[in-house]
Amino acid sequence: MNKITLLMHCHDQSGIIAAVSNFIAQHGGNIIYIDQHVDHVQDIFFMRLESQFDSDTLDLDHLKDTFKDTLVKQFGMKWRIYTSEVKPKMAIFVSKYDHCLYDILGRYKSGELNAEIPFILSNHLDLKPIADSFDIPFYHVPVTKDTKPEAEAKQLELLKKHNIDFIVLARYMQIISPKLISVYTNKIINIHHSFLPAFAGAKPYHSAYKRGVKIIGATSHYVTEDLDAGPIIEQDVARVSHTQAIEDLIAKGRDLEKIVLATAIKHHINRKVMVFNNKTLIFY
| Strands (E) located in 173-231 | 188-192, 215-222
For 38, other C-beta atoms within 10 Å of its C-beta total 12
**Distance (Å, rounded) from C-alpha 178 to C-alpha 148?**
12
> Between vectors from CA 14 to CA 12 and to CA 18, what angle results, nearest 5°?
115
Distinct helix (H) and strand (E) counts, the chain: 9, 13
Q: List, in order, residues 6 or more apart from 245 with CB less than 8 Å away.
A: 209
Burial environment of residue 173 by CB neighbours within 10 A (0 to 12, 13 to 18, 19 or more): middle
> Between vectors from CA 262 to CA 196 and to CA 161, what angle results, nearest 5°?
105
Q: Which of 39, 98, 228, 248 is catalytic?
A: 228
CB 1 within 8 A of CB 54: yes
**Distance (Å, rounded) from C-alpha 9 to C-alpha 5?**
14
228 assigned to active site: yes
CB 16 within 8 A of CB 75: yes
Q: Which residues are catalytic?
A: 228
